[in-house]
Structure 1
Amino acid sequence: MGATIAVFTRDLRVRDNPVLAAACRGADRVVPLFVRDPRVLSSEFSLGRKDFLEECLSNVDSSLRARGGRLVLRDGDPVEQIARVADEVDARRVHLAGDVSAYARRRADALTDALGRRELVIHDDVHAVVPPGRVLPAGRDHFAVFGPYFRRWQEAPTRREVPAPRRIAVPESVRSARCAARTGGETAARRRLSAWVNGGLGDYAEHHDLLAVDGTSRLSPYLHLGCVSPLELARRAGPGAFTRQLAWRDFHLQVLAARPDTTHRDYRPRGDRWREDPQALRAWQDGLTGIPIVDAGLRQLRTEGWMHNRARLITASFLTKTLYLDWRAGAAHFFRWLLDGDLANNCLNWQWVAGTGTDTRPNRVLNPLRQAARYDPDGEYVRRHVPELSHLPASTIHTPWRHRGRVDYPPPVVDLAEGRARFLAARR
């Protein structure tokens, strides 16, 4: 039956992977291939983010070796490397997960041309529970409001899960770059998934906004790189508040599929003339704004490569609506540091907060002090991430003007009331 190639992209798992399963069904020899693109893995990514990818690749390699195979790693332009491997093994077909970004679309188009007579099989049901385009409003190419999308999403048919292949035979002659031995990836994701479904999931609706509580799944980095199947996760979690968040993820994918330029252009322009203030931007990036709850979130981002979702909302609102700085600067900073820096979720969540996206209340401003009082009432989250404030009582820790002269901590970069008034005046 010849050889086929299963190209891994951000589907770094062997369980419920339609790309790998289809490749194994269609040939007696399979090349599981991942190409590290230097244009993507550039200096704009943090070291932690690059390390996380290597952990996931190493785990895929281990899982494949347990089944008699191995992961073939190449470095360079993905189209050139995939076509080169296809020539080396005389592959008849190349299997690839469909994706919605402009980069992914250009890659698929170029690969079709480069493969010539060989068949490129695109699998559109890998990265989402309900793939983009599966549910559509009448007369439009995507849903622009989450509520009606979610109602249709809940009713949409989904594919069957596919098991991991039992055996994989890889041509011995195909060469590979070195894959460093590391822990993590799909194995870690599945442990976390089981612990979450059997533990914290039941309290998610009550605890997911509490900043100091470990009330979220922490599965987002693994979902981003496909170490866990979103379809399997949704089925194991069942209906409820957590699965609604998976629907939001699919919602953003279908928006990006219809509007690939929303990674850098306003979905709904508001006529903003964003301020230029490099000093304020730097203070925000470094977690030195003088607003403790904002600084705690941004320091968590730097140290963990992750930020609590409520903190993401608070820090993003502060940048765009209190400092009135461009959402794209915030999205770029998050994308550099977040292990779960997903293009659709990151950019469209930023647009939602900035009021240029799908939010039906585009001018809402989150007051960080009120948010802190509600979601970190004892100041535990701030103490954890802003150690210079760790000795202060809860009654003081969230009120920055009381810190002067007591700790080595900067004064606020902006008066909150003035910042809010400036934003609302600009939007009017």
Structure 2
Amino acid sequence: MDTVIVLFNRDLRLHDHPALAAACERARTVVPLFVLDPAVPTGRRTSFLLDSLTDLRAGLREKGADLFVRHGDTVAETVRLARQVAAGAVFTSADVSSLARRREQRLAAERIGLRLFPGVTVVPPGQLRPAGGDHYRIFTPYWRAWTQTERRALAPVPAQITVPDDLEPGKIPHAARWGAIPGGETHARERMRTWIGAHLDDYSDRHDDLAGDRTSKLSPYLRFGCLSPLELAGHGNEPFIRQLCWRDFHHQVAFAFPEIARADYRPRGHRWRDDSDATQAWAAGQTGVPIVDAGMRQLLAEGWMHNRARMITASYLVKHLRVDWRAGAAHFFELLLDGEVANNSGNWQWIAGTGNDTRPNRTFNPIRQAKRFDPGGAYVRRYIPELADVPAALIHEPWRADRPIPGYPPPFSL
């Protein structure tokens, strides 16, 4: 084959990139392409995305190639470039969202030799199927099947990549940095090595410590494909790998149920409250419940939230304030650096009792959770300066103090 376009989407890396490796093996020239498509929602992740594209371009240039950036509709721009370079095929990583699958269908209809490759998950979403079903609906049986599945070999990093002559690379725009985590494969691999060396061994015991902040913070890099989930799974221990399996689980659910961001996976007749005041107080970290407000303020400040805090804050919105999970999922999706459809919507539906939780009435009591996972109140004090001087005995229940806390609201009442 003379020329192949490699269309990057959620796979912004050189290590273990099956589509790129296959293109370099089979074609004389390869055109690495990314399309900045206004139809693809990036929320506040734009600067992280642009960091990642800049880093990918630098990596490709070290291999003698470049990242060709175009702006517009992904399919139209890919087809236009394919005709320009007389590409014989387009190679890309398969994805699960309804938007991604419509894009794949449109590309396939153009008859330009579309080929889909794995790489977004450890195990491809449609590979594991229970007897008599199209996908796993409960995690534990999926975990058993997932751990017993033979995995593909890691794809090699191409030593050299040849691109067509005189092809305009296109500009990567600049955006002001937002959030606490820089994008790109270089940062991803550095953080992976550092975190594994320092914290993997005690992950099981310490990952729920809110103030300790010992989670890997690798999920934004997985969301943009700056790290291969398959490679990461090869470094982990069972408690950590189980989290990667949860990620795969939600992806195979989303693959089977593309409406996961909009419709209840398991409708249970919930009657949600339409309360903009409650939703706004929750989003701003002004509910008067310190552990909830600390989590929401961390999200606003960093584009990130500790996983335990995500569960506490989500449960408070849907189980205490009885607000529709879709409102919370939309807020998280807008702000989280790791915000993506399968995990975000899958986790929100799990919390709401409309998803894959076998205990749909599960509720996280925010005070008990706070006292267990932030016993000294250090996490709360970090994000709520109004409570900096509140005694430890009152830090999670400041309404028990003799007088109101200046600048901090009383608990939000229904």
Fold similarity call, TM over 0.5: yes
Residue in 2 aligned with 1:211?
210
C-alpha displacement of 1:63: 0.1
Q: Tell me how far apart the structure 1 counterparts of residues 410 and 233 of structure 2 sit (CA, whole Å).
A: 44
Q: Tell me how far apart the structure 1 counterparts of residues 85 and 404 of structure 2 sit (CA, whole Å).
A: 70
Does structure 2 conserve the Cα–Cα contact (< 8 Å) formed by 1:234 and 1:246?
A: yes
Alignment pair present for 1:88 and 2:81: no
Aligned residues: 407
Which consecutive unaligned segments of at least 5 residues does structure 2 have?
none
Q: Tell me how far apart the structure 2 counterparts of residues 128 and 405 of structure 1 sit (CA, whole Å).
A: 49
Find the partner of 2:136 among 139, 143, 160: 143
- What is the TM-score normalised by the length of structure 1? 0.93
Residue in 2 aligned with 1:50?
46
> 1:326-337 alignment to 2 at 5 Å?
326-337=324-335
Does structure 2 conserve the Cα–Cα contact (< 8 Å) formed by 1:58 and 1:180?
A: no
C-alpha displacement of 1:409: 0.4
Q: Tell me how far apart the structure 2 counterparts of residues 169 and 160 of structure 1 sit (CA, whole Å).
A: 24
Residue in 2 aligned with 1:77?
73
Does structure 1 conserve the Cα–Cα contact (< 8 Å) formed by 2:350 and 2:356?
A: yes
- Classify the secondary structure of the residue corresponding to 1:289: coil
Deviation by residue 1:119-176 (Cα, 9 ceiling, x = unmatched): 11111x2111111122211010001110111011000011000121111111133223
Q: Tell me how far apart the structure 2 counterparts of residues 400 and 347 of structure 1 sit (CA, whole Å).
A: 32
Residue in 2 aligned with 1:235?
234
Q: Tell me how far apart the structure 2 counterparts of residues 151 and 41 of structure 1 sit (CA, whole Å).
A: 34
Find the partner of 1:62 among 46, 58, 65: 58
2:413 is matched by which residue type in structure 1?
V
Find the partner of 2:380 among 362, 382, 386: 382
C-alpha displacement of 1:102: 0.9
Alignment pair present for 1:300 and 2:298: yes
Q: Tell me how far apart the structure 1 counterparts of residues 184 and 400 of structure 2 sit (CA, whole Å).
A: 45
Does structure 1 conserve the Cα–Cα contact (< 8 Å) formed by 2:398 and 2:405?
A: no
C-alpha displacement of 1:180: 5.4
- What is the TM-score normalised by the length of structure 2? 0.96
- Classify the secondary structure of the residue corresponding to 2:6: strand
2:51 is matched by which residue type in structure 1?
E
Residue in 1 aligned with 2:194?
195
- Classify the secondary structure of the residue corresponding to 2:201: helix
1:94 is matched by which residue type in structure 2?
V
1:354 is matched by which residue type in structure 2?
A
Alignment pair present for 1:24 and 2:17: no
Alignment pair present for 1:119 and 2:118: no
> 1:343-362 alignment to 2 at 5 Å?
343-362=341-360
Does structure 2 conserve the Cα–Cα contact (< 8 Å) formed by 1:85 and 1:174?
A: no
Does structure 2 conserve the Cα–Cα contact (< 8 Å) formed by 1:267 and 1:351?
A: yes
Q: Tell me how far apart the structure 1 counterparts of residues 101 and 323 of structure 2 sit (CA, whole Å).
A: 31
Residue in 2 aligned with 1:15?
15
Does structure 2 conserve the Cα–Cα contact (< 8 Å) formed by 1:6 and 1:30?
A: yes
Deviation by residue 1:57-106 (Cα, 9 ceiling, x = unmatched): 00000000011111000010000000000001000011011111111111
Residue in 2 aligned with 1:129?
122
- Classify the secondary structure of the residue corresponding to 2:30: strand
Does structure 2 conserve the Cα–Cα contact (< 8 Å) formed by 1:12 and 1:56?
A: yes
Deviation by residue 1:355-397 (Cα, 9 ceiling, x = unmatched): 1101111112111011000000000000001111111121111
Alignment pair present for 1:103 and 2:102: no
Root mean square deviation, CA, Å: 1.3
1:198 is matched by which residue type in structure 2?
G
Q: Tell me how far apart the structure 1 counterparts of residues 173 and 405 of structure 2 sit (CA, whole Å).
A: 48
- Classify the secondary structure of the residue corresponding to 1:177: coil
